[in-house]
Structure 1
Amino acid sequence: MHTSSEDQKNDNEPAAIIRTVPVPGSPNRLVLNSDGSRLYVASATLPHGITVIDTASLSIITTITNIGSPIWLAMNPTAPRLYASDNSQASDTPITVIDTSTNTLINQIRGFTTVRGIALNSTGARLYVADQGASQVVAIDTSTHQRIAATAVRHPRDICVAPGNARSHVASTLDDWTSINLGTNRVVFQTSTIAGEPTSIVHARFAARVYITYRDRGEVYIGDTTTAQASSTLSGLLGPFQIAFHTMLERAYLTETDGNRVSIINTRTQTVIGTIPGFDKPRGIVVAPSGRLAYVANIGSSTVAEVRL
Structure 2
Amino acid sequence: MKPSKKLLRAGPKGPVFFTCGWHRLSIFLTALFLVIAPPAWAAPRAYITNQGDNSVSVIDTLTDKVITTIAVGDKPAGVAVNHDGSRIYVTNPESRDVSVIDGQHAKVIATIPAGQGPLGIALHPSGRWLYVADWYTHEILVIDTDKLAIVKKIAVDLSPSGIAVTPDGSRLFVANRDSNNVSVINTETNAVIATVDVGTAPFGVTFDPAKNRIYIANVRSHDVSVIDGASLKVITTFKVRAWPYGIAITKDGERIFVTNQHDDSVSVIDGNNFANIATLTAGEYPEGIMVHPDGRRVYVASWFSNEVTVIDVDSLKTLATIPVGDGPRAFGIFIEDAANGE
Q: By the TM > 0.5 criterion, same fold?
A: yes
Give the number of the structure whose alpha-carbon radius of gyration is greater.
2
1:3 paired residue number: none
Of the candidates 207, 215, 225, which is equivalent to residue 178 of structure 1?
225
Q: CA RMSD in A?
A: 2.3
**Residue 258 of structure 2 corresponds to residue 212 of structure 1:** yes
Letter in 2 for 1:110: A
Unaligned runs of 5+ in 2: 1-41, 44-59
**Identity rate of aligned residues, in percent?**
26
User: Does 1:251 find its partner at 2:300?
Assistant: no
- Partner Cα distance (1:108, 1:188) in 2: 30
2:327 to 259, 273, 281: 281
The letter of the residue matching 1:58 is A
Q: Given the alignment of the two structures, is residue 234 of structure 1 paired with residue 283 of structure 2, yes or no? A: no
Instruction: Give yes or no for the alignment of 1:52 onto 2:100.
Output: yes
1:38 is aligned to 2:87: yes
Which whole-Å deviations, capped at 9, do the CAs of 1:3-55 have from their partners, x for residues lacking one?
xxx99xxx99742111111112111121112332100011101x221000000
Number of the residue aligned with 2:188:
143
Q: Residue 84 in 1 paired to residue 132 in 2? A: yes
Is the CA contact 1:206–1:250 (under 8 Å) kept in the aligned structure 2? Answer: no
Matching residue's letter, 2:77: N
Counterpart Cα distance in 1 of 2:193 and 2:278: 35
- Return the TM-score normalized by structure 1: 0.84
What is the CA-CA distance between 1:116 and the residue it aligns to? 2.1
Cα 1:12–1:220, aligned 2, differ >3 Å: closer, same or farther? closer
Say which SS state the counterpart of residue 282 (structure 1) adopts.
Answer: coil
Query: Is there any run of 5+ residues in structure 1 with no aligned partner, and where?
Result: 1-5, 294-308
Contact between 1:122 and 1:164, CA under 8 Å: does it hold in 2?
no
Q: 2:126 and 2:62 mapped to 1: Cα distance?
A: 33
Q: Which residue of 2 aligns with 1:187?
A: 234
Give the total of aligned pairs. 281
CA 1:14–1:129 in structure 2 vs 1: closer, same or farther (change >3 Å)?
closer
- Residues 16 and 151 of structure 1: CA distance in aligned 2, closer, same or farther (over 3 Å): same
Runs of 4+ in structure 1 off by over 6 angstroms are none
Query: 1:36 is aligned with what amino acid?
Result: G
| Letter of the structure 2 residue corresponding to residue 15 of structure 1 | D
- Distance verdict in 2 for CA 1:229–1:249, change over 3 Å: closer
Q: 1:143 to 1:12 in 2, by over 3 A?
A: closer
Deviations 1:129-166, CA, capped at 9 Å, x for gaps: 11222222221100111121222212222211002361
CA distance 1:236–1:101, change in 2 (3 Å): closer
- Give the residue type in structure 1 aligned to 2:257: Y
Match 2:145 to one of 85, 96, 100: 100
Distance 1:267 1:161 in 2: 18
